[in-house]
Chain A
Amino acid sequence: MATQLSSRLFHKIKQGGTRWFYSYNRCIVSDKQSLSKHLKREVHDIEQVSSQCPSPWMLQAGVCLIRLPLIEEDLSEFQKRYISLKEQMEYENSILNEWELEKIKQTQLMNDIESGKRDASEMDFKVSKQDYEDDYNQAFKEFTESTTELDLNDADFKNINRRPKDYLVLISKQKLGNDTVWMLPTEEWKEEENLRQSAERALTSHCGTLVDASFVSNAPSGFYKYKFPKNARTDAYVGAKLFIYNAFVPRVSETQSTATFNLDIDLNKMLDYAWVAKDEMRNFLKPKYSKAIDEIIF
C-alpha cells in the first residue's frame, strides 16, 4: 500500500567552527522503503554528530490504555428512518410464511363457523395462532416493563464501565519535579530494554501486575515532545521525547458488556487515576498533550 507522506526533516549540520545550521527538507515520499532510504543519508550525519554531542532529549515510553466501547452507539434519526424503510420494503416483497397461512385459514374458518357456512366440528385447533401471538406480545411487554438495565455510574472516574459508548483512556496523576501533573503512565527508558518493554514496565509499575492489557505492536503509535521547565533542565537533558504505545483492555466475553480492571496501585508513582473520554481530556491534560493522544485513540 503506497502511503503518501510529506515529512519535514530537521537535521543539524555543524559548519565551520561553532556555528549550528538548522535546515529542513520537505519531501513527498511514495512509500516506506524510499522513506527509510531518504532517512539513512541523514542518520549518518546524526551518528557522527551524536558521538560528539549526545541528544538532549530524554527518552520516555508511555502507555495509552484504551477501553473500547462496551455498547453500540445510538442510531441517528436518519439511520432509524432508513432501517424502517428497508424493513418495510423487505416485508412488501416477501411471501406469506406457514404461520401466516395457518392464521388466515383459522380466521376464515372461525368467520365461516360464526356466519354458519361451516360446521363447528371442523375446528382442528384449540388455541389459534392469533392467540399465541397475543400471548407473546403480552409476555414481552411485561418483561420490558418489569426489568431495568444496570445503571453504570457515569460520574465516577475510577469506574472502568462508565460511559459505555465511548473510547476511554487511563490517565494518572504523577509527580513531575515538584508539581503533580495529569498524564499517561510513563517511564523513562533504561538501557538493555527496547521501548515496548519500557511501556509495559510503565503499565505494571503504575497499575500493578494483575492488569490485563494487550499491546498491539513493537512500534510506537504516537509521539510527544516537551521541554522541561527551566529550573528542572539539566546539562544532559533539555526535555523529553515521549513515545506512546497503544494497549487495549481485552473484552472478556461476547455476552457480557462490562469490563474488569484489577488495580494494584503503587501510590508513590500514581497518586490518582481516571478513565477519561475524549471530550473530558481537556479538563485534565494540557491542550497539546490531549491533541497528541486524541488522534491515536480513533
Chain B
Amino acid sequence: MALKKIFFALPVCSSRWISTSYSRSAGFQGSKANIPLEMKLRMIERKKRRVEKLSKQPLAFIPITDFFIPYSWKMDERARPKLEISEEEEDKRVLLEKEWARKTFRSRKQESWKIKLLLRHQQRALEELRQESEKLYNAALQCEDLSIPFTCRGPVQSTPLEGYLPPLGGYEHTDPLFSKDDLSLPEV
C-alpha cells in the first residue's frame, strides 16, 4: 500500500513557512522524478508481477462498512430539516419511555413466572412418579437427543388471503462482498 503523505503547513515566524510531512520518514521525495526509461519500465513490470501474484489469491473480506459513515452522508444537503419539539411534547416522550420500561419489566417478570410454574409442575410430576416406581422415574430422566438443538418457528402476522398461493422457495440473504459506498478515508 502506498504511503499516504499529508503535508501540514506550520508558520514558524511571520515570513517563512515550513512544510512538514505527516509520515515519520520523509524519504527521498522526488527521487523518482528523473530516472532513465529502462528503469521505469523495469519498475512497472515488477509492479505488474506483484499484482498478478495477489490476484491469484482468493478475495479477502473487507471490514464491515456499517461502522464507516460515507463522506457523502455528512454533507449539509443531506441533513433533514429539524422539527422543533415543544417542551410538552418532550415531557410526553420521556414519560412514555419510562412507562415502557415499567411495562417491559412487568411482562418479563410474568414470563419468568410462567416458566417457573412449568418447571414446578414437571418437578411435582417427577416426584409423584418416583413414589410409584423407581424404574419409570429413571426412564423419565433420560435426556432426549432429538430435541437439541431446538428449533421453533414463530407465528405470522396475518391470515393468508383468499385464493393466494405463496411463491415456492426460500429467501436468500446475499450480502455483497465489496460494497460500493465510499469510505470516510481521505483520498490523496
A residues sitting closer than 8 Å to B (CB atoms) are: 3, 5, 7, 9, 32, 35, 39, 43, 46-47, 55, 57, 59, 68-72, 78, 81-82, 85, 89, 92, 94-96, 101, 147-150, 152, 164-165, 189, 194-196, 214, 216-223, 225, 241, 243-244, 251, 253-258, 295-296, 298
Contacts and interface: CB of A to CB of B under 8 A. Distances in A.
Nearest to A105: B77
Given A69-B155, A149-B158, A257-B155, A39 B140 contact: no
Nearest to A258: B160
B80 interface: yes
B4 interface: no
B3 interface: no
B125 A219 contact: yes
A43 to B, nearest CB: 6
A220 B147 contact: no
A259 to B, nearest CB: 11
A13 to B, nearest CB: 14
Interface in B75-96: 77-80, 82-83, 93, 96
Contacts of A251: 152-153
Given A5-B120, A5-B123, A85-B96, A196 B162 contact: no
Interface size class of B (residues with CB under 8 A): 35 or more
A71 B158 CA distance: 6
A195 B83 contact: no
B148 to A, nearest CB: 11
A195 B140 contact: yes
Interface in B128-182: 128-134, 136, 139-144, 147, 152-153, 155-162, 164, 166
Contact of A194 (B77, B140, B157, B159): B140
B95 to A, nearest CB: 11
A148 B99 contact: no
A72 B141 CA distance: 34
Interface stretch (B10-18, B53-61, B111-119): B111-119
Contact of B118 (A71, A253, A295): A295
A95 B159 CA distance: 36
B127 interface: yes
A214 B123 CA distance: 21
Contacts of A59: 132-133, 136
A94 B155 CA distance: 31
A195 B134 contact: no
B126 interface: yes
14 contacts: A5-B123, A35-B123, A46-B131, A55-B131, A69-B155, A149-B159, A150-B160, A152-B159, A220-B126, A221-B118, A223-B121, A253-B153, A254-B153, A295-B121
Contact of B129 (A72, A101, A243): A243
B127 A70 contact: no
B132 A149 contact: no
Interface string B10-38: 00000000000000000000000000000
A216 B148 CA distance: 10
Given A150-B162, A194-B136, 17 more contacts: A43-B131, A68-B155, A72-B157, A85-B96, A92-B80, A95-B80, A147-B164, A150-B161, A195-B139, A196-B139, A218-B144, A219-B140, A221-B118, A221-B125, A225-B128, A257-B156, A258-B160
